[in-house]
Amino acid sequence: MWKLVKKLFLFLILANILFVIFGIFFNPPITFTQIGGLVKYGKLERDYISYDDMGGNIKKAVIASEDQLFFTHNGFDYKQIEKAMKKNDKKGKVVRGGSTISQQTAKNVFLWQGRSWIRKGLEVIYTFIIEKIWGKDVILERYLNSIEMGQGVFGIEAASQYYYNKPAKDLTKSEAAWIATVLPNPKKYDPKNPTPYLRKKHGWIMRQMNNIVLK
């Protein structure tokens, strides 16, 4: 029995190593989140594109919205994590997340949705690994290709076609900002039917985009 457990453990380690290396060159064939979307909505709209084909506006928009220190941190924004913890403790529930784009990428590519300590611990490990092995451009490309951006819609190219009938590289600054605006809850929010809160956030993202310099 112990030998079987040991072999299984070694197999899982090797499989994870190969998966991480695979991720340097290729987008994930499918993710747990995408499977969930397919089951729930009966569709999987997804079109992986290269980093260069994404265009600058959407990169600036999501960095401005989600993680303005993306190019300078080591995968974790400790100040944001501290702020999130304090706000959540004050409210008595999770009302704010402190995850970086790197952490979200680790979760979206390798793991599943949820707030368990096991998932969060694995997220930390994967975030550390991809920061060391993949680098920022690969992380941002995987993030923009795998993130959920609507009901059964994944990745920036599919989202751009779904909302604006155009390639991601042709998104205007405002259009890119609208997509970034709904990212916290893309299954609920709609950039074509924004609430006053979303309009305010869209304007904030537009202003913040002016401060983002792509590497």
Q: How many domains does the chain have?
A: 1
For residue 10, what pLDDT is reported? 76
In a domain, 160, yes or no: yes
pLDDT digits (tens, 9 = 90+) for 166-204: 999 999 999 999 999 998 888 788 888 889 999 999 999
User: CB–CB of 187/80 below 8 Å?
Assistant: no
Record the pTM.
Answer: 0.88
In a domain, 67, yes or no: yes
Instruction: Report residue 95's pLDDT band, with 50, 70 and 90 as the boundaries.
Output: very low
In a domain, 8, yes or no: yes
In a domain, 177, yes or no: yes
In a domain, 131, yes or no: yes
The whole-angstrom separation of Cα 142 and Cα 161 is 18
In a domain, 215, yes or no: no
Pairing of strands 153-154, 45-46: parallel
Instruction: Report residue 125's pLDDT band, with 50, 70 and 90 as the boundaries.
Output: very high
Q: Residue 45 pairs with which residues in a beta bridge?
A: 153
Domain coverage including residue 189? 2-209
pLDDT digits (tens, 9 = 90+) for 11-36: 777 877 888 899 999 999 999 999 99
In a domain, 25, yes or no: yes
pLDDT digits (tens, 9 = 90+) for 129-153: 999 999 999 999 999 999 999 889 9
Task: State the chain's mean pLDDT as an integer.
Answer: 88
Looking at the predicted structure, is the pLDDT value of residue 208 above 90?
yes
In a domain, 214, yes or no: no
The CATH number of the domain where 168 resides is what?
1.10.3810.10
Please give the average per-residue pLDDT across 43-55, as a whole number: 94
